[in-house]
Amino acid sequence: MTKLFSFSLGIGTKNKDDQWLEVYYPQPLANIDADTSAQLITAVSIAGIEWNAGNEVIPLNETDLNQLADALVTHQQIELANIAAKLVSSKRDAVLTLLTTDDKPTTVPEAYLKLHLLSHRLVKPHEINLEGIFASLPNIAWTNDGPIDLDELSEKQLEARREGRWLNVKCIDKFPVMTDYVVPSGVRIAHTARVRLGAYVGEGTTIMHEGFINFNAGTAGTSMIEGRVSAGVFVGEGSDLGGGCSTMGTLSGGGNVVISVGKQCLIGANAGIGIALGDNCTVEAGLYITAGTKVTLLDENNNTVKLIKARELNGQTGLLFRRNSTNGTVECKSNRSAIELNEALHSHN
């Protein structure tokens, strides 16, 4: 019996050419065990829904949904059965997306399912294949009337005016606001437009007004985010990103290098990193460290150990990065609040 990577019932929007614009999945499943996979596959078969046993997007009509709801109840998948039953009377298109493998997304429903998996905290950043996701997602006008195909926008604007309404175009983007699809438990988000669908926002996270989290990025748990968490960047438990600070993601100059922030780190206001930080690291406010930044290592007595490039400190713990106020050089020494001292800072070799 085939084991499923993901299974979800969704409801979405199409344009006039019957092309998907977006899909909402209220309760996606991921990394499904063998027994549950068998139950779901059998239910699909009993409902008479044709499936080729691979990754597939299957449009569902009322008959499909009714039969699937009954079959899911029979196989003890009550919550999914309830969703299927509620979609029967939907004015928008319903869809079943089945993924047997974690291949790159090639359709809008597949891409949206993977973004949902991240924001539902079912997978973490870098745990699933998102290669080519930009090519799968259309650029959309996100409005108070919902998503609109850009080629149909002017017609919709005129229609709204004729009806005495105002069509507010909130943004033009491939990625929607996360909270229009998923609201994770235990978080505070001051400005929801600054968190994209596909962000992983750990419980206990606070995102202030200037904070931003991109897709395939996020926080492991309790963190204060007042800066930018770029695509691909994952922030460890208890870390604080100060106002206006920046993390260099895979879409913003980092290439294929994975930038991450460890536990209990502080990146000061208007600072930034282009290397990974281990646990218990601090970057002084206003200091931007790239992989090629020349860094002077200091010992506990502030004596110079050696001059290196920041990439050599990539991922190491217990570091304090600061700029010398006299000569402007970037310095690094052991962070006094660190649990473990970094041996490299105490070596004169």
Point out the catalytic residue in the list 22, 110, 226, 331: 226
Nearest to 264 by CA among 345, 338, 204: 338
Separation in Å, CA 226 to CA 209, 261, 266, 294: 7, 14, 11, 27
Contact partners, residue 61, CB within 8 Å, separation at least 6:
94
Phi then psi for residue 63, to 5 deg, are -65, -45
Q: What share of the chain is helix, strand, coil (3-state, %, to 5)?
A: 25, 30, 50
- Cβ(99)–Cβ(79) below 8 Å: no
Give alpha helix (H) positions in the chain: 34-46, 62-74, 78-87, 108-119, 133-136, 153-162
Q: Decide: residue 317, CB within 10 A, 0-12 exposed, 13-18 middle, 19+ buried.
A: buried
SS3 call for 159: helix
CA 116 to chain centre: 9
- CA-to-CA distance for 210 and 97, rounded, in angstroms? 35
22 in active site: no
Residue type, 314: N
Residue 43 to residue 88: CA distance in whole angstroms: 17
Distance between CA atoms of residues 106 and 258, nearest Å = 24
Residue 27 tokens read as: 């309760």
Q: What CA–CA distance (Å, rounded) separates 23 from 180?
A: 11
Query: How far, rounded to the nearest angstrom, does the alpha carbon of residue 123 sit from its chain's CA centroid?
Result: 10
Could you tell me the two tokens for 15? 């344009």
Query: E strands along 48-125, which residues?
Result: 56-60, 93-99
- Name the DSSP class of 259: P
Active site residues: 226
